[in-house]
Structure formats: C-alpha cells, structure tokens
Amino acid sequence: MSDSRILYGYFRSSAAYRLRIALNLKGLSYESVSVHLRRGDQRKETFREIQPQGFVPALIDQGETLIQSPAILEYLDEVYPDTPPLLPPDPLGRARVRAIANIVCCDIHPVNNLRILKYIRGPLGHSEEEMITWYNKWIADGFAAIEELLASDDRTGRFVHGDTPGLADTCLIPQIFNAFRHDMDLTPYPTVMRIWDAATAVAEIADAHPDRQPDAEP
C-alpha cells in the first residue's frame, strides 16, 4: 500500500483543518497543496478536474481522489484500521460521535462557508457587522446543543467521547477556531472550551492549526 498522499486545502478552511487533525492523529503523512480560496484557485480548471465542486479539501490517497471531509474521515478509519481509530467500537458510541460531528458539519458550517458569506456581503448587500451577526448566530445555536449533549453524558471525557480525540473532535476544534476569529463569546460553553484546552495540548492537533500551515497568512 502506497504511503503517498496529497491534501489539497487552504490554511483557514475548516474542512481541510479537520483532515489535517485526522491525518496527524493517525500518523499518516501527506503533501500539502494550497488552494487559495480568496484568490479564486478553487475556480481554476486544473483544480475543478480534481474536485468538480471546487471545494476543499480533496485528498489523493493510493492514486484515488476523495472529496467531502466527513466521507474522507470515515474512509481513513476503514482503510487504515491499524492507526488510532477516530470512531469508538460500539454502535451507540459511533452514532453519538457522528451526531455531534454532524451538528458542526451539517448545521453550522454549511451556512457559514466562505462562499455563503461572500453572497451575504455581495449580492445581498449586507454589512460586515450583519454578516458577523449571521455567522455567530449559527455557531451559538449549534454550540448550545453540543454543550448540553457533552455536559449531560458521562461518555464525555477529556474529549468529546472518552479521553482520546476522535472524529467529533476533528470537526469541533476547527469550529471553535472560527468562533475565536469572529470574537464570539464562548463562556456559555464551558465543556466545549475544556475540550479545546485539552486539544491544544495534543501535538498532532496543535500542528494542524491554521497558523502553522505553509500557506498561512496574517
């Protein structure tokens, strides 16, 4: 099995951030190729041939192209079972982890994606302040539910599910980073923030931080 991997991403992309965390946790090496979203690299024909939607990330693994971060996260667990798992072994545990991950991936992130924000500020004519209000509202709604789910369940440990980071953490950590970027008040979510603090102490997660990427910008 080839160890050659290429991750097409952007340093601030939440979805690419998820995959960097997962690949690092699993000890899977990869080459990072930047697709600069603000300069329009995603619209270039060369990238559209890799990812027809023009979204990041895309992962080339064993010569095959994979798209959509939730699908890629599960692929990594299935294809590399000898690496640290992202999902727990029991069906109920897996369902819980997937549900919390999907609050981020399905309910928060899609409405706060860069292309959505550009449309709000551009064709719809809303101000930067209105855009930030929009952005933080959906994070607040999602984080309120996640906080309740985490705080009320004894399966929550240092991380979302137990004491090792997994699939839900790979999705939650980038979303917390995004909330920080927009100066959101995160004090109502103490369990979420405790997990953030634990995650920042894990080298594999810290190395995936946007500021540590080759294409990072101020």
Contact 140, 101 (CB under 8 A): no
Q: What is the pLDDT at residue 218?
A: 81
CB contact set of 82 (below 8 Å; sequence gap of 6+): none
In the three-class reduction of DSSP (H, G, I as helix; E, B as strand; rest coil), residue 10 is classed as: coil
pLDDT at 1: 43
- What pLDDT is stored for residue 3 in this prediction? 67
d(CA 193, CA 185): 11
If one counts every other C-beta atom within 10 angstroms of the C-beta of residue 7, the result is 22
User: Taking a C-beta distance cutoff of 8 angstroms, is the pair 18, 171 a contact?
Assistant: yes
Cβ atoms within 10 Å, residue 149: 18
pLDDT at 10: 97
Show the low-confidence residues of the chain (pLDDT under 70). 1-3
